[in-house]
Structure 1
Amino acid sequence: FENVTGAADIAWLRDASVNLLYLDMSKWQDIRVIDDERVADFIREVPEARGGAPLTLQSGIAVARRAGAGKLVMGDLLKIGPRTQVVGKVFDVKTGLRVRTVRQDAATTDSIMSAFGQLARAVLNVAPPAGTSLGSIGTGSVSAYQSYMIGVGFLNRWMLDSARTAFGRALALDSSFALAHYKLATVYGWQTPNSEEGPRHAALALRYGAALPQRERNLLLGAAALTEQRYAEACSVFSRLLAADSTDVEAWYNLGECAYHDPAVVPLAGDTTRFVFRSSWNLMLKAFRHALELDPTSHLAFQHIQDALLTRVRQGCRLPPGVERCGSTGVLFEGVLQRDADSLLIAPVSLATSTASRSEQLVAAQRQGARRANLEAARQVAEEWLRAGPGESRPRRAYARILLRLGRVAAADSILRGAGTGIVAGESAGYVQDRIEAAIKLGNPALAGSIADSLLRALAGAPPNQRNAAVILNATFGKVRDLDEMIRLSTPGQELARRYFTLQVRAILGVPSDGILPLEDSLARSVVGLQDAKRAAVTLAGSLLFLEPGLRGGRWPVADTASTDPRIALVSHLARSDRARVRSALAGYDSAAAERQNEPDGGLALVGALVHLAVGDSIGALRLLRRFHDGSWALSPIGDQPATGFGFEAMLWPRMFLLLGDLEAAAGRKDQAAHAYRMFIGFWQHADPELQPIVQRAREALTRLGS
Structure 2
Amino acid sequence: MIQDRGRAFSPKEAIAEGAAPGIAVLPFSVQSAELEEWREGMVDLVSTNLDGVAGLRTIDSRTVLARWREAVPGNEVADLETALDVGRRAGARYVLLGSAVAIGGGVRLSADVYDTGDGSKLGQGTVDGAPDSVFALVDRLSIEVLRAVLRGQERDLPTVNLARVTTTSLPALKAYLQGEVLFREGDFEAAIPAYERAVEADSTFALAHYRLAHAHGWSAIQGDLTQEAIERAARFADRLPERERVVVLAERALLQGSLDGIEPLEELVRRYPDDVEAWYTLGDTYFHLGEQTLIDPLEEGTKAFARATELDPTFAPAYIHQIDTAIYESDSARAAGLIATYDRLASGSEMATALRFAFALALGDSATRAKTWAALDTTSVSLEQGIYYYLMSTAHLKLHAEIHEKQIQAAGPGRAGGATFSYSWIITLLGRPAEALRTADSPEFPAESAPDFLYYLHARGLPIPLERLQRTLALDAIDSENPVHLLYAGAYAAERGEWQDHAAAIRQLRESAGISLAAGDSVEARFGEGAAGALEGYAAWRRGQREEALRLLRSSERVVTGHVFRHRVNQTIRWWIGDLLEEMGRPSEAARYFYSVTFNDP
For the criterion TM > 0.5, the same-fold answer is yes
CA distance in 2, matches of 1:185, 1:108: 30
Q: Answer yes or no: is 1:218 the counterpart of 2:249.
A: no
User: Structure 2: any 5+ residue segments left out of the alignment?
Assistant: 1-26, 148-153, 392-401, 423-434, 445-450, 469-602
8 Å contact from structure 2 (residues 383, 403) kept in 1: no
* Matched pairs, number: 408
- CA change 1:227–1:3 in 2 (3 A) is same
Alignment of 1:208-607 (within 5 A): 208-231=236-259, 233-262=260-289, 265=292, 277-278=294-295, 280-311=297-328, 372=330, 374-386=331-343, 394-395=351-352, 397-410=354-367, 422-423=379-380, 430=387, 473=406, 475-476=408-409, 480-483=412-415, 501=439, 534-536=462-464
CA distance in 2, matches of 1:484, 1:394: 24
- CA change 1:486–1:45 in 2 (3 A) is closer
Q: Deviations over 1:614-639 (max 9, x none)?
A: xxxxxxxxxxxxxxxxxxxxxxxxxx
- CA change 1:484–1:123 in 2 (3 A) is closer
- CA change 1:296–1:489 in 2 (3 A) is closer
8 Å contact from structure 1 (residues 138, 212) kept in 2: yes
CA distance in 2, matches of 1:184, 1:416: 32
- CA change 1:483–1:240 in 2 (3 A) is same
CA distance in 2, matches of 1:376, 1:184: 33
Question: Following TM superposition, by how much is the alpha carbon of 1:397 offset from its aligned partner in structure 2, in angstroms?
Answer: 4.6
Please report the TM-score for the alignment, with normalisation by the length of structure 1: 0.50
Alignment of 1:86-101 (within 5 A): 86-101=109-124
Alignment of 1:66-77 (within 5 A): 66-77=89-100
Residue 596 of structure 2: aligned partner: none
CA distance in 2, matches of 1:186, 1:13: 24
Alignment of 1:25-36 (within 5 A): 25-36=50-61
8 Å contact from structure 2 (residues 358, 390) kept in 1: no
Please state whether the residue corresponding to 2:261 is helix, strand or coil. Answer: helix
8 Å contact from structure 1 (residues 182, 220) kept in 2: yes
Residue 87 of structure 2: aligned partner: 64
Please report the TM-score for the alignment, with normalisation by the length of structure 2: 0.58
Q: Answer yes or no: is 1:42 the counterpart of 2:59.
A: no
CA distance in 1, matches of 2:182, 2:303: 25
8 Å contact from structure 1 (residues 403, 411) kept in 2: yes
CA distance in 2, matches of 1:425, 1:528: 29
Question: Following TM superposition, by how much is the alpha carbon of 1:536 offset from its aligned partner in structure 2, in angstroms?
Answer: 2.9
- Percent identity, aligned pairs only, is 24
Higher helix share: 2
Question: Following TM superposition, by how much is the alpha carbon of 1:129 offset from its aligned partner in structure 2, in angstroms?
Answer: 5.1
Residue 582 of structure 1: aligned partner: none
8 Å contact from structure 1 (residues 396, 419) kept in 2: no
AA at the equivalent of 1:37: R
CA distance in 2, matches of 1:229, 1:89: 45
Residue from 136, 141, 144 that aligns with 1:114: 136
Q: Answer yes or no: is 1:85 the counterpart of 2:18.
A: no
Residue 5 of structure 1: aligned partner: 31
Question: Following TM superposition, by how much is the alpha carbon of 1:294 offset from its aligned partner in structure 2, in angstroms?
Answer: 1.1
8 Å contact from structure 2 (residues 109, 128) kept in 1: yes
AA at the equivalent of 2:39: R
Residue 18 of structure 1: aligned partner: 43
Residue 167 of structure 1: aligned partner: 195
Question: Following TM superposition, by how much is the alpha carbon of 1:160 offset from its aligned partner in structure 2, in angstroms?
Answer: 1.6
Question: Following TM superposition, by how much is the alpha carbon of 1:184 offset from its aligned partner in structure 2, in angstroms?
Answer: 1.5
8 Å contact from structure 2 (residues 287, 301) kept in 1: yes
8 Å contact from structure 2 (residues 185, 345) kept in 1: no
Residue 591 of structure 1: aligned partner: none
8 Å contact from structure 2 (residues 187, 349) kept in 1: no
Residue 702 of structure 1: aligned partner: none
Residue 105 of structure 1: aligned partner: 128
8 Å contact from structure 2 (residues 84, 95) kept in 1: yes
- CA change 1:83–1:431 in 2 (3 A) is farther
Please state whether the residue corresponding to 1:14 is helix, strand or coil. Answer: helix
8 Å contact from structure 2 (residues 376, 382) kept in 1: no
Question: Following TM superposition, by how much is the alpha carbon of 1:30 offset from its aligned partner in structure 2, in angstroms?
Answer: 0.8
Question: Following TM superposition, by how much is the alpha carbon of 1:475 offset from its aligned partner in structure 2, in angstroms?
Answer: 4.3
Q: Deviations over 1:382-404 (max 9, x none)?
A: 34434555676644652443233
Question: Following TM superposition, by how much is the alpha carbon of 1:183 offset from its aligned partner in structure 2, in angstroms?
Answer: 1.1
- CA change 1:530–1:402 in 2 (3 A) is closer
8 Å contact from structure 1 (residues 85, 104) kept in 2: yes
Q: Deviations over 1:252-295 (max 9, x none)?
A: 111111111116547xxxxxxxxxx3564311111111111111
Q: Which gives a bigger RCO, structure 1 or 2 (Cα 8 Å, sep 6+)?
A: 2
Question: Following TM superposition, by how much is the alpha carbon of 1:235 offset from its aligned partner in structure 2, in angstroms?
Answer: 1.6
CA distance in 1, matches of 2:371, 2:298: 32
Residue 158 of structure 1: aligned partner: 186
- CA change 1:248–1:193 in 2 (3 A) is farther
Q: Deviations over 1:532-589 (max 9, x none)?
A: 983339x99xxxxxxxxxxxxxxxxxxxxxxxxxxxxxxxxxxxxxxxxxxxxxxxxx
8 Å contact from structure 2 (residues 59, 91) kept in 1: no
Question: Following TM superposition, by how much is the alpha carbon of 1:92 offset from its aligned partner in structure 2, in angstroms?
Answer: 2.8
AA at the equivalent of 1:63: V
- State which structure, 1 or 2, has the greater radius of gyration over its C-alpha atoms: 1
8 Å contact from structure 1 (residues 133, 211) kept in 2: no
8 Å contact from structure 2 (residues 45, 162) kept in 1: no
Please state whether the residue corresponding to 2:173 is helix, strand or coil. Answer: helix
- CA change 1:251–1:150 in 2 (3 A) is same
